[in-house]
Amino acid sequence: MGVDRKIWQCSERYKVKGVLGCGNRHVDESTLEKAFIMAWNGILENKEHFWRKWEAQEKSGDLLEVYRAKDFQKLTMSMQDIQRMDIDLMLRMLGRIQVYESGVLLVGFFDGTEIEVNCEQV
């Protein structure tokens, strides 16, 4: 019986048949999950810093930005560090994860926050 292993790759990698469009390597889903957990916990640990950013976003006049800022405030006020992947939280907060050849993952949240995570840390 084989091991169930989920791998992610760049959507640009094989966009044109026979042409390598993106040179980034494949990434295990578990690595992406750990990067999200580390980045989210980083936001929680530094919420006072981010709180000022969210307050400024609330005054921006952009309704989506205001909504997201309030959502981030509400969640970070009541949450503790997460230890396991929370799919609902991820879908609500995560904009993207970029993977670089160097092994750095850039976790981008819907509020515009970007946090670098090194693959070696996860």
Q: What is the mean pLDDT of the chain?
A: 88
Per the structure, the complete domain to which residue 111 belongs is given by 28-121
Decide if 99 is inside a domain: yes
Interval 17-29: pLDDT, tens: 777 667 666 788 8
Q: What total of structural domains would you count in the chain?
A: 1
Decide if 1 is inside a domain: no
Answer for the pair 38, 16: CB distance below 8 angstroms, yes or no.
no
pTM score: 0.84
Alpha carbon distance 106, 100 (integer Å): 8
Task: Using alpha carbons, list the distances in angstroms from residue 17 to 12, 13, 24, 27, 28.
Answer: 11, 10, 17, 21, 23
Decide if 42 is inside a domain: yes
Interval 50-90: pLDDT, tens: 999 999 999 998 999 999 999 999 999 989 999 999 999 99
Angle of helix 47-58 relative to helix 29-45, nearest 10 degrees, comes to 80
Decide if 2 is inside a domain: no
